[in-house]
């Protein structure tokens, strides 16, 4: 199926974060890249989230993710992230291969601060698919979406300083190294430096060509009961 761009009215709704009635009535659009489909998270993705993010090789680079990752906590995290979109707090996409859209390989997200017109980029991929450029492909598509369709002026990311692969991803996205928060995070019995990267809309316009076309997906019924944020798996986390 050929992807199509959203209408002007659809983009206006995305920027405002609300339908005329005050709540989102549609699911986030799929983002289609050369190899990937970034789709809405599903409750059924919880087991893949627990297995993938909870892998000690992955969790080592995520600021607030435990290893092992209990399935009950993963279910709460997925439900909470689905809530983000319906309340205008941001969006979390499941990263999947185009020929296997039901199989979650990781997630990529924008945590939105609407008043400031900024969002924090976060992502992780399961270890078996590392080294294939998928993190860069997924992150670029979401950065494009944030600037093109969410009205953002700034997107930033915070990464553990020893996460060399993720620092390389952010460099490839054209993000600017804005400095180091020294001994900022306690993880695995020691304090870690955190590197801050940022990208402004005008910098993105010059450096980054759009890489994905949002396509309209069937309307999803909004989750109306707020889900508490699992303390160990939400908030700021490093990109991985």
- Mean pLDDT (the chain) is 84
Residue 231 within a domain: no
Each residue of 37-48: pLDDT tens digit?
A: 999 999 999 999
Q: In what order do the strands lie in the sheet with 118-125?
A: 176-187, 190-200, 154-160, 118-125, 106-113, 90-97, 36-40, 30-32, 213-215
Q: Kindly tell me if the per-residue pLDDT of 170 is higher than 60.
A: yes
- pTM comes to 0.78
Q: Report residue 23's pLDDT band, with 50, 70 and 90 as the boundaries.
A: low
Q: Report residue 188's pLDDT band, with 50, 70 and 90 as the boundaries.
A: confident
User: For 18-32, 40-54, 192-206, which range has the lowest pLDDT when averaged over its residues?
Assistant: 18-32
Residue 121 within a domain: yes
Q: How many domains does the chain have?
A: 1
Q: Report residue 64's pLDDT band, with 50, 70 and 90 as the boundaries.
A: confident
Residue 105 within a domain: yes
The whole domain housing 84 covers 8-215
Residue 224 within a domain: no
User: For 18-27, 69-78, 214-223, which range has the lowest pLDDT when averaged over its residues?
Assistant: 214-223
The DSSP result for 206-238, as a single string, is HH-----EEE-----PPP-S--PPPTTTSSS--
Can you read off the two tokens belonging to residue 40?
């809405």
Can you read off the two tokens belonging to residue 6?
């959203």
Question: What CATH code is carried by the domain that includes residue 85?
Answer: 3.40.630.30
User: What's the pLDDT at 18?
Assistant: 53
User: What's the pLDDT at 20?
Assistant: 40
Each residue of 104-153: pLDDT tens digit?
A: 999 999 999 999 999 999 999 999 999 999 999 999 999 999 999 999 99
Residue 130 within a domain: yes
| Nearest by Cα to 150 from 105, 110, 94 | 110
Residue 123 within a domain: yes
Residue 202 within a domain: yes
Q: Report residue 235's pLDDT band, with 50, 70 and 90 as the boundaries.
A: very low
User: What's the pLDDT at 207?
Assistant: 75
Q: Report residue 25's pLDDT band, with 50, 70 and 90 as the boundaries.
A: low
Residue 220 within a domain: no
């Amino acid at each position: 199926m050929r992807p199509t761009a959203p209408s002007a009215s659809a983009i206006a709704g995305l920027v405002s974060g609300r339908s005329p009635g005050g709540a989102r009535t549609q699911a986030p659009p799929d983002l289609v890249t050369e190899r990937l489909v970034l789709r809405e998270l599903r409750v059924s993705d919880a087991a893949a989230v627990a297995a993938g993010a909870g892998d000690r090789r992955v969790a080592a680079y995520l600021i607030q993710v435990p290893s092992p990752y209990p399935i009950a906590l993963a279910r709460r995290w997925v439900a909470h992230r689905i809530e983000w979109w319906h309340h205008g707090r941001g969006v979390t996409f499941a990263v999947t291969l185009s020929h296997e859209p039901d199989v979650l390989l990781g997630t990529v997200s924008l945590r939105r601060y609407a008043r400031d017109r900024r969002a924090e980029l976060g992502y992780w991929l399961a270890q078996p698919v590392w080294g294939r450029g998928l993190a860069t492909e997924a992150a670029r598509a979401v950065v494009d979406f944030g600037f093109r369709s969410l009205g953002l002026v700034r997107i930033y990311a915070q990464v553990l300083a020893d996460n060399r692969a993720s620092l390389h991803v952010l460099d490839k996205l054209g993000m600017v190294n804005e400095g180091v928060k020294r001994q900022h995070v306690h993880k695995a019995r020691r304090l870690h430096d955190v590197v801050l990267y940022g990208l402004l809309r005008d910098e993105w316009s010059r450096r980054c060509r759009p890489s994905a076309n949002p396509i309209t997906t069937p309307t999803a019924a909004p989750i109306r009961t707020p889900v508490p944020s699992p303390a160990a798996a939400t908030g700021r986390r490093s990109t991985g």
